Chains A and B, each alone.
Chain A
């Protein structure tokens, strides 16, 4: 049985070059499906990596209760001070809590590629910034100074938006701000932002009394409950406390979900189309080999090896298509930097990320199309009435 299977499969695969034209229909059809699937899902993956992987479990974000997002939130100086005294926060050598009082606004900056105005987050940050976010490094230029109109730009934002190079001057609300540096935060969402001193931002946008959020570093991830309980039971406060990863995962959920649905739907529809192509090709292949198959049957080959050999041919071709499509998507799109409007009215810069899981998923889709497209032609081959087929030749 296996000997027969091997012999028949080898025979059909070795004659593939003679059917190059029609066989390539399967390969190219499926490559198209997989390339589209992998590229679109790479977008969702990249966005999720950038947004949902922002932050660390021992860092918390405090918002006014019911605000959902930083941009909507509003905290007073007094509230920030109460938060700073809560138990569980890490302290620096001088005994000051590692808490950054932050103020968010979005500013209009033109996108390099299109020249059209885009909303960029300008985040005012407190003096403890570097201790609260130790992953932040200046990759070019220098840090901004407090109390003067200076800002630093995230590496992602600097690449996508105009006028964010070190030394450029940005006109923001009737005043000139100098970009003194470009920073990196290991590719998370903050690389799409501009950072400056919180009080300078506050006075510039005329909101010197309020803040958006407070971001604090805990003594450890397990200090979260203590910190949260202290704040939520305080009658003077009405705040929401979340670990950063949870906050950012919630922020990215909607868009990631949406892209995934779109990607899978389009790929499914394309896959049905490709399956019809595969059916066509395999029926043609079976027809072309009618005499050969009938002869094999006549000299004692079983129906099963014939059936399997057709399936193997379909699978081999679709596997090839899957690999080709995945490779194309990887070559053209992996690392491709794009930006879109994220959850909070502001641009998020992220890179399309073709992961190994995505490639495997693509190849699995390809094989599924191959199996479905090969099954019926294989059945026909196996059921071929031998005498009739021999006579027809």
Chain B
């Protein structure tokens, strides 16, 4: 620690150069922080899905094919299944197709029993929802986004389901209450969710009656998820509607994996960034040591051991890299909300920032070691004679 002023002074020997080098490391780690966080979100998308005790049952042949409503009885009777509910993709938007709304027709009792204690809904509004046939519970963030108020009529356009009443794709709901998820990551994922009654949906649609998109199950013991999944699928094997049951987390992972080689692209970019940075910083360190050869020789003459000189140069590299990295990572943390806007629905809460500091230390060692070794091996007499 007592050498810190010395390291500090040598770092600022050429102010401009140090500032430029600092800035490029800051930028590299800004990119690192952002890209690694996005990458992590793509590779571990399940973190926002609540609990390991949830399963999803879809049509094995195709996600777009529906399953009979009657399956609920059979699934409910499978040992290990605590609750089952059913949901259908409604494909809705509000006014314009860019205003996507994740509207879900739900069976109120089973849905809220399955997601017990996961939602924040006031008791009054819950009662109002149960009593209103065309009622809708809207996520608080969505209410704010469009400036809706409780009591408003909510017209939604479904891209799939025709309304029997007038043959159009328009459905109108009454906003009777709001909800929010308790878990903050779930809350971001559900930011555009609207919940309404399955009964209204099933009676109102002009085709597909008695069929649902998928089933969700809560199981008693998460450790049994594979066994329970197999039991559910066995019920419908060799029928025209074979099912595929998997943990909700795996379902989310499989879906995001379909986006393809996102991780590969992000890693390739990071590789390019760091290779470039390594080269740049390494060069600066080399240069700065080269220029200071006589000074280092003086230090050695004064009695600094080889090891200490080595430590000084590496310390300088560490100070440069780590402080710049921390600044860059802090910056990436600050811009994360903006990135999250562009990637709505993807959980970005698990920042890669702590790991970034480790990467910075590694970087500092790689770029600091060659010049440090050079400084250590310096022959005092030669170095002093060489006027450079």
Residue positions of A touching B, CB distance < 8 A: 21-22, 24-25, 28-29, 31-33, 35-36, 39-40, 43, 64-69, 71-72, 74, 105-108, 114, 116-119, 122, 172-174, 205-206, 210, 238, 258, 261-262, 266, 269-270, 272-274, 276-277, 279-280, 283-284, 338-341, 345, 347
Contact = CB atoms under 8 A, between A and B. Distances in A.
Interface size class of B (residues with CB under 8 A): 35 or more
Given A35-B272, A238-B167, A340-B259, A345 B280 contact: no
A345 B64 contact: yes
Contacts of A22: 283, 287
A280 B20 contact: yes
Nearest to B250: A116
Given A24-B279, A66-B169, A71 B269 contact: no
The 7 closest A-B pairs by CB, nearest first: A32-B276, A173-B61, A273-B27, A340-B260, A276-B24, A276-B20, A273-B24
A116 B257 contact: yes
B62 A108 contact: yes
A341 B257 CA distance: 9
Interface of B: 16-17, 20-21, 23-24, 27-28, 30-31, 35, 60-65, 91, 97, 157, 159-160, 162, 167-169, 207, 238-240, 242, 244, 254, 257-261, 265, 268-269, 272-273, 275-277, 279-280, 283-284, 286-287, 342
Contact of B64 (A25, A105, A210): A105
Contacts of B159: 66-69, 72
B97 A68 contact: yes
A280 B17 contact: yes
18 contacts: A31-B276, A33-B276, A36-B273, A67-B160, A67-B169, A68-B97, A105-B64, A105-B65, A173-B60, A206-B240, A238-B167, A269-B31, A270-B276, A276-B24, A284-B287, A340-B258, A341-B260, A345-B64
Nearest to B59: A173
A43 B266 CA distance: 13
A114 B259 CA distance: 12
Contact of B279 (A29, A40, A261): A29
B264 to A, nearest CB: 9
B269 A40 contact: yes
A139 to B, nearest CB: 24
A25 B260 contact: no
Nearest to A344: B64
A272 B273 CA distance: 12
A120 to B, nearest CB: 9
A277 B26 CA distance: 12
A72 B158 CA distance: 9
A39 B269 CA distance: 9
A28 B277 CA distance: 10
Contact of B63 (A32, A106, A173, A276): A106
A45 to B, nearest CB: 14
Contacts of A270: 27, 31, 272-273, 276
A36 B60 CA distance: 39
B61 A205 contact: yes
B60 A280 contact: no
B169 A106 contact: no
Contact of B20 (A24, A65, A68, A279): A279
A345 B167 CA distance: 25
Contacts of B269: 36, 40, 266
Contacts of A68: 97, 159
Contacts of A24: 279, 283
Contacts of A69: 159
A338 B254 contact: no
B268 A39 contact: yes
Contact of A277 (B207, B280, B287): B280
Given A22-B287, A24-B283, A280-B20, 11 more contacts: A21-B283, A22-B283, A43-B265, A72-B91, A107-B62, A173-B60, A205-B61, A258-B342, A273-B23, A274-B24, A277-B24
A284 B31 contact: no
